[in-house]
Copies of this chain bind each other. A is one copy, B any other.
Amino acid sequence: MRVEELDTPVLTIDLDALEENLDRYQHYFNQHGIGLRPHIKTHKTLAVARMQMDRGAIGLTCQKIGEAEVLVSGGLAVDILIPYNIIGKQKLERLCALARQTTITVAADSAYTVNGLSEAASAEGVTLGVVVEIETGQERTGTITPEQTLALAQLIDRSPGLEFRGIMGFPTPPETRPLIQETLALLDRHGLPHPMVSGGSTKYALQAHLIPELTEYRIGEYPVGGYGHLLAGRHTLEQCALRVIATVVSRPTEGRAILDAGSKTMSASTLETERGTSIGYIVEYPDAHFYGFSEEHGHVDVSACARKPEIGERVQVLPVHPCPCVNEHNEIVAVRQGRVEAIWPVYARGKIR
Contacts and interface: CB of A to CB of B under 8 A. Distances in A.
Contact of A311 (B90, B110, B249): B110
Nearest to A86: B249
A267 B324 CA distance: 8
Contacts of A64: 296
A267 B295 CA distance: 11
A85 B140 contact: no
A209 to B, nearest CB: 26
A258 B269 CA distance: 20
Interface residues of A, number: 61
A321 to B, nearest CB: 8
Given A84-B296, A267-B268, A328 B350 contact: yes
A253 interface: yes
A324 B267 CA distance: 8
A249 B352 contact: no
A135 B87 contact: no
A8 B140 contact: no
A178 interface: no
A45 to B, nearest CB: 15
A252 B63 contact: no
A143 B262 CA distance: 20
B84 A252 contact: no
A350 B329 contact: yes
Interface in A81-111: 84-85, 87-88, 90-91, 109-110
A353 interface: yes
Contacts of A90: 7
Given A9-B352, A252-B144, A269 B263 contact: yes
A264 interface: yes
Contacts of A54: none
A256 interface: yes
Contacts of A10: 353
A249 B85 contact: yes
A63 B294 CA distance: 11
